[in-house]
Amino acid sequence: MFGLGMPELLVVLVIVLIVFGAGKLPKIGEGLGKGISNFRKSIKEDPEKGDNPAGEEEKKNTT
């Protein structure tokens, strides 16, 4: 994974702790998890169902 070993990951974790603080890390993790979940959900959605406004826009432009 990008050539990162355990020492490099620990350095990154320490830097994140310094920048954001220990109190905000759970909120950041939760937001990141929700973002990834929504991204995966949007990729799996069927554009033919009309749930995607961009898909509807494409249909309008072709007619």
> With the CA atoms of 6, 8, 9 and 13 taken in that order, what torsion angle do they form, in degrees rounded to the nearest 10?
130
Quote the pLDDT of residue 57. Answer: 55
Structure tokens at 12: 């990154």
| Interval 6-57: pLDDT, tens | 999 899 989 988 998 888 888 988 999 999 999 999 988 766 665 555 555 5
Number of neighbours of residue 25 by Cβ within 10 angstroms: 13
Quote the pLDDT of residue 48. Answer: 63
What pTM, to 2 d.p., does this model score? 0.49
Report whether pLDDT(62) > 80: no
Number of H helices, E strands in the chain: 3, 0
